[in-house]
Amino acid sequence: MRVTIKPCSVVKPAEPTWSGRLALSELDQTGMTTHVPTIYLYTQPSDDWDTVVQTLITSLTTTLVPFYPLAGRLSTITGGRLELDCNSAGVQFTEAYTDVKLVDVDDFLESPLLNQLIPSVDYRHTPLEETPLLLLQVTRFGCGGWSLGFCISHVVVDGQSALHFISEWARVCRGELVASPPYLDRNVLRASEPPMTTCSSVVHHEYVQFNPPPILIGQSSDKNERKKETTVAMLKLTETLVTKLRNKANEIRTSEKDNRGFTRYEAVTAHTWRTACKVRNHEPEQPTSIGICIDVRSRMKPPLPEKYFGNAVVDVIATGTSGEIVSKPLGYVSSKIKEAIEKVNDEYVSSMIDFLKNQQDLSKFQDLQWIRDDGGPFYGNPNLGVISWLTLPMHGIDFGWGKELFTGPGTEDAVDGDFLILRGEEEASGSLVVASCLQVRHMEEFKRVFYQSIED
């Protein structure tokens, strides 16, 4: 399978936009410094291919006018922080072709072709100030079908904001007007002036960029675990299996907070954590943690403005020992996850923002041994990081030639312990997919235990 890529072009807003330096919030400064890859696959369009490409480009230039920050570039300022230069430098657009047919790709999520359909970012040879914040690749298949792959900077937007842009671009491509312009003022998530010197009743000892996740007993660092070969698998859960896991979790509730029952995310994440602890063969006293990403838009008082455009997510950590995670009921493990999630409220987020503002130099934390090259923490053995895309408006994106056949994440940059929970291909069915990255030596056993223990 081969993808032929044409020289890339730069697409800029169709008309002049505001120019200048846009301050980023503290939550923008703490995310992954890389781009997040996503893919959409479509059947053959009704128009000829040249018309499709030109329509996509023309509508993109129009959509970039209200979404002009995406056409800018990042730059570094004092204290290791970043700011956004709104200079209309443009986004990268690439056209490509492959002789593969959509029907030849049996499982899109695990196809080796998948990551060739998504543009790559050359971080080593391209300075930060020259790196596009949005890169797009449109690929035509041999059958006439096509794909849209994109990478978008996680410093500038989170998943909700990225998909807000994609959905509005699709709307404009269909010949309509932008329905919901982005809310660009990030001051609603800025620290107080001056920032609080204390965090009231909230303590952020768990903040992962400043405190290392547990390492394996007997080791002095996670360096050995990082070197081990990894692989990716997509574990499909039918609605029946998801229901079984929720029922299992809700058999035993450990506190009054659990009376309303555990969500499917909490139950599936707990099951994933238990399974990983089992197959990694930890000692019972092995500390283990799980990183959870929380959208705070509706948790603030007042809630953030509708269509806030930026990062509005925080990471929280649930911890335990491998022995208790494996031996205790699923409801016990689910309660640990629920407890971590429910402490994220307005006070928690505000104190975290002030806590980050009080850090004189954020750059020193990027060099710590538990931080990955992309700026995020390493959640490999004995830990996990489980992100939910269940609430993201990914589906039903129609650029004028029909809704997508498939959408999902790119997997090229996944590392040990990275997990992502997605809605299944049949959106209304209640099925889920757990995108999993583990060391090769653990994956086959993980898949076996993952399914078998649901039925136990």
Strands (E) across 389-431 are located at: 406-409, 418-423
Contact between 331 and 250 under an 8 Å Cβ cutoff? The reply is yes
Q: Provide φ and ψ at 93, rounded to 5°.
A: -125, 130
Residue 400 is classified by DSSP as S
Residue with tokens 């980023």: 24
Distance CA 42, CA 31 (A): 31
Q: Provide φ and ψ at 174, rounded to 5°.
A: -80, -5
DSSP string, 228-240: S-EEEEEEEE-HH
Residue with tokens 């993952």: 450
Cα distances (Å, whole numbers) of residue 254 to 195, 275, 331, 342, 353: 37, 21, 7, 15, 31
Question: What's CA 389's distance to the chain center, in Å?
Answer: 7
Distance CA 353, CA 265 (A): 26
Catalytic residues: 154, 398
Buried b (16+ CB within 10 A) or exposed e, 202-225: bebebbbbbebbbbbeeeeebeeb
Q: Tell me the helices (H) and strands (E) count for the chain, helix number first.
A: 9, 16
Closest CA to 456 of 218, 275, 314: 275
Contacts of residue 339, defined as CB under 8 A and 6 or more positions apart, other chains included, come to 257, 318
Distance CA 409, CA 230 (A): 17
Question: Which H or E element spans position 223?
Answer: helix 223-227
Distance CA 309, CA 294 (A): 16
From the number of C-beta atoms within 10 Å of its C-beta (0-12, 13-18, 19+), residue 97 rates as middle
Amino acid residing at 39 = I
